Amino acid sequence: MTSRTEPTESVVRLRMTGPQRRAQLIDVARGLFALRGLDGTTIEEIAQAAGVSKPVVYEHFGSKEALYTQVVDVEFHILLRSVSTALGGKASSRELLERAALALLDYIENSTEGFRILMRDAPPSQPEGAFSTLLSNIAARVEHIMVDEFERRGFNPRDGAIYAQMLVGMVAMTGQWWLDERSPDKKEVAAHLVNLAWNGLRGLSTEPVLKVDE
């Protein structure tokens, strides 16, 4: 089986259009960046793995950092689109939570390299970190679900933003753990996530206080 980051005769000899070559370089770079990170990967390695010369890489992206930013941007939008789709349409709050958890785990399973990249080096365009930016975007989409659920249950809807952050953080941290464990299977992991989140929501106090302050 040929590694995705090793050049083959078919890759070397194939004449590609500009968009095809750009997509190929992004795909090759994804594998190397996931394995070695931004600092540990060189333009020479990317060019060799793609079966092209260094000037070809520079022609399409200008620099290694720009290529890395493009790889991150592609993965960022793939995952964000997946979660946003899961949160769309008519469904109960619990069903939306189940869909979102499964969407993240599906992405981790099918785009492991991309997820590793999102969690590591921050691209120049996102100094705060790609994964942190992504989670903030997802939390903003989850917030309206929490607000609606809080209103239905008689809670202060303004607290929905806090719980959206906690919920997304819980799912994201579990996803990072599952990235390497891969056991139990993703549906069981999602079921446990929803069990904690949903049953915890059912038992919420409308005015929580810390016991230490009593």
The model's pLDDT over 169-183, given as tens digits with 9 standing for 90+, comes to 999 999 999 998 899
Domain contains 77: yes
Domain that includes residue 158, residue range: 71-203
Question: What confidence score (pLDDT) does residue 14 get?
Answer: 62
Domain contains 76: yes
Instruction: Reply yes or no on whether the pLDDT at 8 is more than 60.
Output: no
Question: What confidence score (pLDDT) does residue 49 get?
Answer: 97
* Residue 121 DSSP label: P
The pTM is what? Answer: 0.82
Domain contains 46: no
Q: 89, 83, 19, 4: which is closest to 51 by C-alpha?
A: 4
Q: Which two tokens stand for residue 179?
A: 């990235």
Domain contains 22: no
Question: What confidence score (pLDDT) does residue 207 get?
Answer: 86
Domain contains 156: yes
Question: What confidence score (pLDDT) does residue 127 get?
Answer: 65
CATH of the domain at 178: 1.10.357.10
* Domains contained in the chain, number: 1
Asked if 25 contacts 46 with a C-beta cutoff of 8 angstroms, the reply is yes
Instruction: Reply yes or no on whether the pLDDT at 9 is more than 50.
Output: no
Rounded CA gap, 41 and 28, in Å?
11
Q: 114, 136, 103, 92: which is closest to 26 by C-alpha?
A: 114
Confidence of residue 145 (pLDDT cuts 50, 70, 90): confident
